[in-house]
């Protein structure tokens, strides 16, 4: 699908969808619990659908009804299973260790660039503790064997999803385990969310500065959980308000552990006017000025921050961004090419972006590269262009935010498929 977006100002209030990261975690804990859990609201994107499918494949019973997801946890895991992870790196990295802990011989598959996303550190840790992994170069792994408790050593600098996957799995084993990080943990907020969600479902994890101690023989308990709103998605609308108007995002918890909550102080540094209410955040246009941004712990914000920086007076540097080359697309390349096509002054380096702000961009054509966050970022960049913007492959927003363009129009945006 090609989406054409005309320059405009977005204004009004929008209720953000549930956090995809929190939804993954709640659903997995529910699937491992002994009894029935209710997860609400039931707003599903492609990645969350992949996690539901994976949980069903391992024996969970799941029904979506009444605006909620009803999950009856796994009682007797199957001997073997096949799990299609779609394009969800979270689903793959979370369920590989879970399948090994349950002793289920599992063949994993996926689409897009999922097979190219790194898995070796996680697979090596599993193989060192009794799992057997079949994984040829460029292929998604198959897992068998029975995972054993013990001391796990793994890097914290490649993906926090490795840590989360192991944290989900290790309490299911009979003995105690320790997860030692061999390098500083990046995106720590996501792991904090995991530990918090596990505690909601009755599982204890002892978090230390550079390790996690996990008592074995634990059982997840069923729970009724409301999934908090998604700061990652809300960031697009907040940046739109900061760019040229006034937008309020509802459904954001101020006490959230989501790393992307950092969008608020970052926008303030850009010069936006920020207001907060009960479970809401508003961003209003101010005179935008450049700022340097360390994105080591907030990689998902990079595409929309780069779009906003195009309109900030001065030079913005977005650094510690090398991991973005391993996402659904090479996001540093994708955002650079897209914004350049629209007339931006942006230079791509191995692990950073340098962006020279200007009053407006000329508009033009951009490719989403099959990446939901690139499509949404180009849509926000289009708001300040002199001419329309055409985004090829815009349907990929369904991965995390199926209603994105509906909400875009409700806020006064002018866009249509061509």
Q: What does each C-alpha distance from 392 to 2, 180, 376 come to in angstroms?
A: 4, 43, 12
Looking at the DSSP assignment, which residues form a beta bridge with residue 105?
A: 80
| pLDDT 10s digits, 155-164 | 998 889 999 9
Distance CA 73, CA 93 (A): 20
Query: What is the token pair recorded at 160?
Result: 């926090």
Candidates 324, 304, 220, 221; CA nearest to 262 is 304
300 is catalytic: yes
Give the predicted TM-score (pTM) of the model.
Answer: 0.92
Across residues 274-290, what is the average pLDDT?
Answer: 95
Contact 103, 146 (CB under 8 A): yes
* Cβ contacts of 139-142, under 8 Å, gap ≥ 24: 139/115, 140/85, 140/92, 140/108, 140/109, 140/110, 140/114, 140/115, 141/96, 141/108, 142/105, 142/106, 142/107, 142/108
Q: What pLDDT sits at residue 318? A: 98
* Cβ contacts of 209-212, under 8 Å, gap ≥ 24: 210/180, 210/181, 210/185, 211/178, 211/179, 211/180, 211/181, 212/163, 212/167, 212/178, 212/179
Distance CA 153, CA 168 (A): 16
| pLDDT 10s digits, 124-160 | 999 999 999 997 666 899 999 999 999 999 999 888 9
Candidates 155, 16, 44; CA nearest to 402 is 44
pLDDT tier, 216 (very low <50, low <70, confident <90, very high otherwise): very high
Q: What pLDDT sits at residue 112? A: 86
Q: What pLDDT sits at residue 137? A: 65
For residue 400, the Cα-to-chain-centroid distance in whole angstroms is: 8
Q: For a pLDDT cut of 70, what percent of the chain falls above it?
A: 99
Q: For a pLDDT cut of 90, what percent of the chain falls above it?
A: 90
Q: What pLDDT sits at residue 88? A: 94
| pLDDT 10s digits, 11-67 | 999 999 999 999 999 999 999 999 999 999 987 788 999 999 999 999 999 999 988
Across residues 297-309, what is the average pLDDT?
Answer: 97
Surface-to-core class of residue 208, CB atoms within 10 Å of its CB (0-12 exposed, 13-18 middle, 19+ buried): exposed
Q: What pLDDT sits at residue 22? A: 95
Check 47, 230, 260, 300 and give the catalytic one.
Answer: 300
Average pLDDT taken over every residue of the chain? 95
Which domains does the chain carry? 2-17+229-417 (3.65.10.10), 20-226 (3.65.10.10)
Q: What pLDDT sits at residue 82? A: 96
pLDDT tier, 233 (very low <50, low <70, confident <90, very high otherwise): very high
Distance CA 311, CA 302 (A): 15
């Amino acid at each position: 699908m090609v989406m054409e977006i005309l320059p405009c100002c977005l204004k009004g209030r929008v209720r953000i969808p549930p956090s995809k990261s929190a939804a993954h975690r709640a659903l997995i804990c529910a699937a491992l619990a002994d009894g029935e859990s209710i997860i609400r609201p039931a707003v599903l994107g492609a990645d969350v659908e992949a996690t539901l499918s994976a949980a069903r494949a391992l024996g969970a019973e799941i029904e979506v009804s009444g605006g909620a997801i009803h999950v009856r946890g796994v009682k007797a895991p199957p001997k073997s299973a096949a799990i299609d992870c779609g394009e969800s790196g979270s689903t793959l990295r979370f369920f590989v260790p879970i399948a090994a802990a349950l002793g289920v011989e599992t063949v994993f598959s996926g689409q897009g660039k999922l097979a190219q996303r790194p898995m070796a550190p996680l697979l090596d840790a599993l193989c060192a503790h009794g799992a057997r992994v079949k994984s040829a170069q460029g292929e998604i792994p198959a897992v068998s064997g029975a995972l054993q408790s013990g001391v796990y050593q793994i890097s914290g600098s490649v993906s926090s999803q490795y840590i989360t996957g192991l944290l989900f799995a290790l309490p299911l084993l009979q003995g105690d385990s320790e997860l030692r990080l061999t390098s500083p943990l990046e995106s720590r907020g996501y792991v904090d969310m995991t530990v918090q969600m596990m505690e909601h479902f009755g599982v204890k994890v002892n978090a230390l500065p550079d390790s996690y101690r996990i008592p074995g023989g634990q059982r997840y308990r069923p729970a009724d959980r409301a999934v908090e709103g998604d700061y990652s998605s809300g960031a697009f609308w907040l940046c739109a308000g900061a760019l040229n108007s006034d937008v309020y995002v509802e459904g954001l918890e101020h006490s959230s552990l989501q790393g992307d909550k950092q969008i608020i102080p970052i926008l303030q540094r850009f010069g936006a006017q920020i207001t907060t209410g009960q479970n809401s955040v508003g961003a209003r246009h101010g005179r935008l000025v450049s700022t340097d941004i360390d994105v080591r712990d907030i990689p998902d914000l990079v595409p929309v921050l780069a779009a906003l920086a195009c309109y900030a007076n001065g030079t913005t540097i977005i650094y510690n961004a090398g991991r973005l080359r391993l996402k659904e697309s090479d996001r540093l390349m994708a955002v650079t090419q897209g914004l350049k096509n629209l007339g931006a002054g942006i230079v791509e380096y191995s692990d950073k972006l340098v962006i020279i702000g200007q009053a407006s961009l000329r508009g033009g054509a951009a490719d989403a590269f099959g990446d939901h966050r690139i499509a949404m970022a180009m849509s926000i960049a289009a708001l300040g262009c002199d001419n329309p913007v055409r985004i090829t492959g815009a349907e990929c927003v369904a991965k995390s935010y199926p209603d994105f363009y509906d909400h875009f129009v409700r806020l006064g945006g002018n866009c249509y498929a061509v």
